[in-house]
């Protein structure tokens, strides 16, 4: 049993090192992007594919980056740039985001951390009381760039925290969160929290959330679509 744990631990360390190596080569180009990926204003508008500020790369879910520093000619030359100790636990299936020179990740102990993508230095780390949904999060900023927020799901609550330090945004919902059950056309007093791994999509100043779907009844999986003012 002890041997199996050591093997799993080595695999986790290898995965983190490989990820850091790749980030070490591409981070310089990523940090150069002056603005995060902007949502399209009209159908067919051009997306900024150099950033990765939302789940799956951007509001268009392209899972594509136009950065070309790593290519077929040099991919075999990747070397370890840095490592970051995330702690013990099952590695989360979480899509990090990188914007304005910061890399945001979820650690195995259910904490969000902001790192310097060039060095791997931890800028801040915040552990929350609820379970953070596993797929990822989204980034939003005000037009003047002074208000920067991260949005993610936590125990059935759409949650907003400051991208600068991880503190809850008290002006969003109720002390930083919105209960997804509110707004349903049913009595929600007996409904369990509607946790979903889908982090939603941001369009301008609106975040659009799809509620859980596919279960046997409306109460547990209403499949409604809600939109909230960020």
DSSP code of residue 213: -
Residue 96: what pLDDT? 86
pLDDT digits over 85-136, tens only?
Answer: 988 777 667 788 888 889 999 888 888 999 999 999 999 999 988 777 767 7
Distance CA 141, CA 33 (A): 15
Residue 129: what pLDDT? 81
Reported as a pLDDT band with limits 50, 70 and 90, residue 77 is: very high
Reported as a pLDDT band with limits 50, 70 and 90, residue 5 is: very low
pLDDT digits over 199-208, tens only?
Answer: 778 888 998 8
Q: Which residue has the higher pLDDT, 68 or 56?
A: 68
Q: CA end-to-end span of the chain, whole Å? A: 48
pTM of the model as a whole: 0.70
Query: b/e map of 130-159 (b: 16 or more CB within 10 Å)?
Result: eebbbbbbbbbbeeeeeebbbbbbbbbbbb
DSSP code of residue 90: P
Q: List the domain boundaries for the chain.
A: 2-75+89-229
Residue 149: what pLDDT? 94
Q: Is the pLDDT of residue 21 over 50?
A: no
- pLDDT-wise least confident of 28-37, 44-53, 143-152: 28-37
Residue with tokens 């509620």: 211
Positive or negative, the Cα torsion across 219, 222, 228, 230?
Answer: positive
Among 110, 112, 94, residue whose Cα is nearest residue 162: 112
Reported as a pLDDT band with limits 50, 70 and 90, residue 151 is: very high
Mean pLDDT confidence for 170-192: 74
What's the token pair of residue 139?
């980034």
């Amino acid at each position: 049993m002890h041997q199996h744990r050591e093997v799993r631990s080595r695999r986790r360390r290898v995965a983190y090192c490989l990820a850091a190596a790749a980030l070490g080569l591409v981070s310089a180009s990523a940090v150069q992007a002056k603005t995060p990926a902007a949502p399209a204003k009209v159908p067919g508008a051009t997306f900024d594919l150099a950033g990765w500020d939302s789940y799956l790369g951007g509001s268009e879910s392209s899972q594509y980056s136009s950065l070309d520093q790593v290519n077929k000619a040099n991919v075999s030359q990747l070397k370890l740039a840095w490592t970051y100790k995330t702690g013990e636990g099952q590695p989360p299936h979480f899509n990090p985001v990188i914007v304005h020179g910061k890399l945001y990740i979820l650690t195995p102990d259910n904490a969000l951390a902001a790192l310097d993508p060039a060095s791997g230095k931890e800028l801040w780390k915040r552990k929350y009381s609820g379970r953070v949904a596993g797929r990822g999060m989204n980034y939003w900023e005000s037009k003047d760039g002074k208000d920067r927020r991260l949005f993610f799901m936590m125990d059935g609550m759409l949650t907003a925290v400051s991208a600068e330090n991880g503190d809850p945004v008290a002006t969003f919902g109720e002390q930083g969160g919105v209960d997804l059950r509110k707004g349903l056309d049913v009595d929600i007093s007996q409904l369990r929290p509607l946790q979903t791994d889908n982090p939603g999509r941001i369009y301008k100043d609106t975040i659009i959330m799809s509620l859980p779907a596919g279960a046997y009844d409306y109460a547990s999986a209403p499949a409604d679509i809600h939109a909230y003012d960020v």
